Structure 1
Amino acid sequence: MKKILYTLVLAAFVIGCATTNTKNDIGNTAGTTSDTVRIANDSLEFEIIIIEPGFNNWLATQQPRGYYEQMYLENRNIIRVVEYNNRVLNNAQYDPNLYIQQINYERGVDYGYEVNYLLHNWFKFFEQRYGQKLR
């Protein structure tokens, strides 16, 4: 299970590096070369790393940890992961530079609050930065 969320990390990294013509409605990220957020859980053997310019600054403006229930975050993440993965598979219709690799997020696995919180907010960030709707 250690590789469950590596796909998300790779996608975020490639998206951050591969896209050049992006819509920047997130705010001023000038001077920010890279933000890295890393969460690891050795007992479940998984890790999530989000490498996205401006993500940390943007995250600080969002609802604080504890605002959402974990179940809400899990349900939102499942919906968005399914849509995101469908877009990865349909690269003729969706930009393959944005949707690079599927995310292995499984329903019923307890990833913990922090991973769900960060994944939820990464999806919101992704939607805003790249003008996508994953709902």
Structure 2
Amino acid sequence: MELTLSFNLLEAEFFYVSPKKPVSTVPLVYLTFAFDEGQVAYNLNNQAKLTRKMERIVKTILKKWQQENAVYQQALDQDLILMPDEHLDYQTALVKNLLILLKDNELPAIRLELVGSWPVFQTKDGQLDLTN
């Protein structure tokens, strides 16, 4: 069974994504998995979700992923200005790191998407000012 989860690096959380993927204003990673029937449970509304064991595995991966990418997570969280090459290098490392964690835990990821607001180029004029 295919199931898509969104990983939020800033909040260290994951959410189930419906077939209609929403647009996000925060940087998210959508991961689509091919799970066996024994790894999937259903809620009262008959919507698919992971079993508790699988949720614990995903949460462990997410926590390790956040720890190993703490420098970039902090830069994103504080809206720091980085050189364009730095953003792309961090994003490449972020994706590679996540794929390694998934492979090490034998999670069958079949698709990974970067969605939402991932900066690649930003100057001081483009910095978010939330004080106004």
Normalised by the shorter chain, which TM-score bucket?
under 0.3
Greater radius of gyration (CA): 2
Q: Would you tell me which structure has more strand in proportion to its own residues? A: 2
Normalised TM-score (structure 1)? 0.27
Normalised TM-score (structure 2)? 0.28
